[in-house]
Amino acid sequence: MLKTDKYPCVKEIEANKFPAVIHFEAGTPASTLVDFFNEFRSGIETLLLKSGAVLFSGVDISSRDIFEATVSRMGDDFINYADGNSPRTKLSDKVYTSTEFDPAQSITMHNELSYSAKWPSRIFFSCIQPSETGGETPLADGRLVLKHMDAGLVEKIRQEGVIYYRNLHGGEGFGPSWQDTFETNSREAAEAFCREAAIDFVWKDDGGLRLIQKRKGILEHPVTGELVWFNQVDQFHPYHLGQQTYEVMMDMYGSTDALPTYASFGDGSSIPNEVIASIKEIFNNIEVVRPWEKGDLVLVDNVLVSHGRKPFTGARQILVSMLA
């Protein structure tokens, strides 16, 4: 499929792995990867749809500038992170840091922006600086996740969809502000975004903004037609933090309406705590965890595959770029 005679720097292709891996000779210039990628674009596309994610290893992607130049030539139609729920820094129109969320905590598995009206079809992740310990980006195949979920739960979500709730503060408070979320200081611009994205919103007296968005939760892949688990209800639901933290949060906020984030079934009924726990367990069993190596570049089909983040120590820099 991928004839590599012209590219002796390509040492091995592991097509049947998850993620698929294309091993380059250590220190291969990023421009060579770009040439290879563009020459074999359709083969790589086939590999990506089959595996869900492709890792290019051994390439010299050692700075933000190299990362940006590389992904700029591998994709077009980059999108921003408006409506994002995780703290991160926008480094340019195309490049973000991966989440700056507390290094001591895990981030649960999610498809990027699955709660939003628009999500990236593809995501590039690259490791500029590996952490000292941990910090992996686990990946899970949403086709497999769906197969392991309780059939009754899948049917309920297919019929009803899911609803995500967020309470964003107006400058100071827990979690992200609406200004950071919508990448604007203008209330009008935030409202326009919400209307466009089918998000119900309510301004609060303290300057905060409450968002309610109903989404499908299970999707058909736009190219392959395969059904995939495509939601992050467990991440929005505080029970994913464990029974004890859940109880503390419920005491602190008093009701589910006041929680920073929450999720329910699409008919408004609660998702039982044990269902949230079972979703988390299924992801734990299915996720594939691979340590980052400096220069690794991973291309993920964001509908087929979810990702998360393991806790870490030490400096870690993973850059992210998203394609429409």
Task: List the x/- string, 62-101, binding to Fe ion by CB under 5 A.
Answer: ----------------------------------------
Residues 101-140 that bind Fe ion (CB under 5 A): 112
**Considering beta carbons, is residue 28 or 232 the nearer one to Fe ion?**
232
User: Which tokens is 270 given?
Assistant: 């609660």
**Considering beta carbons, is residue 75 or 120 the nearer one to Fe ion?**
120
> What is the closest distance, in whole angstroms, from the C-beta atom of residue 85 to Fe ion in the complex?
9
**Considering beta carbons, is residue 60 or 112 the nearer one to Fe ion?**
112
Alpha helices in the chain (DSSP H): 30-39, 41-51, 64-74, 142-148, 151-160, 178-182, 187-196, 233-236, 243-253, 273-286
β partners of residue 167: 210
Q: Is the dihedral of CA 212, 216, 218, 220 positive or negative?
A: negative
CA distances (Å), 145 to each of 64, 291, 314, in order?
33, 22, 31
Pick from 100, 239, 216: which is nearest to 160 by CA?
A: 216
> What is the closest distance, in whole angstroms, from the C-beta atom of residue 254 to Fe ion in the complex?
30
**Considering beta carbons, is residue 28 or 213 the nearer one to Fe ion?**
213
> What is the closest distance, in whole angstroms, from the C-beta atom of residue 235 to Fe ion in the complex?
10
Q: What angle do CA 59, 60, 62 make, to 5 degrees?
A: 135
> What is the closest distance, in whole angstroms, from the C-beta atom of residue 307 to Fe ion in the complex?
6
CA distances (Å), 20 to each of 9, 208, 242, in order?
17, 43, 33
Q: Which residue is nearest to Fe ion (CB)?
A: 112
**Considering beta carbons, is residue 167 or 306 the nearer one to Fe ion?**
306
**Considering beta carbons, is residue 153 or 322 the nearer one to Fe ion?**
322
**Considering beta carbons, is residue 42 or 89 the nearer one to Fe ion?**
89
> What is the closest distance, in whole angstroms, from the C-beta atom of residue 309 to Fe ion in the complex?
8
Pick from 64, 61, 58, 53: which is nearest to 8 by CA?
A: 58
Q: Is the dihedral of CA 14, 60, 107, 170 positive or negative?
A: negative
Helix (H, G, I), strand (E, B) or coil at 76: coil
> What is the closest distance, in whole angstroms, from the C-beta atom of residue 182 to Fe ion in the complex?
18
> What is the closest distance, in whole angstroms, from the C-beta atom of residue 110 to Fe ion in the complex?
6
Cα of 150 vs its chain's centroid, Å: 23
**Considering beta carbons, is residue 51 or 98 the nearer one to Fe ion?**
98
CA distances (Å), 231 to each of 69, 113, 154, 253, in order?
32, 9, 11, 24
Size of interface with Fe ion, in residues (CB under 5 A): 1
> What is the closest distance, in whole angstroms, from the C-beta atom of residue 33 to Fe ion in the complex?
23
The single-letter code of the amino acid at 254 is G
**Considering beta carbons, is residue 68 or 112 the nearer one to Fe ion?**
112
User: Which tokens is 310 given?
Assistant: 């393991």
> What is the closest distance, in whole angstroms, from the C-beta atom of residue 244 to Fe ion in the complex?
26
Q: Is 119 exposed, middle or buried (0-12, 13-18, 19+ CB in 10 A)?
A: buried
Residues of this chain that interact with Fe ion (CB under 5 A) are 112
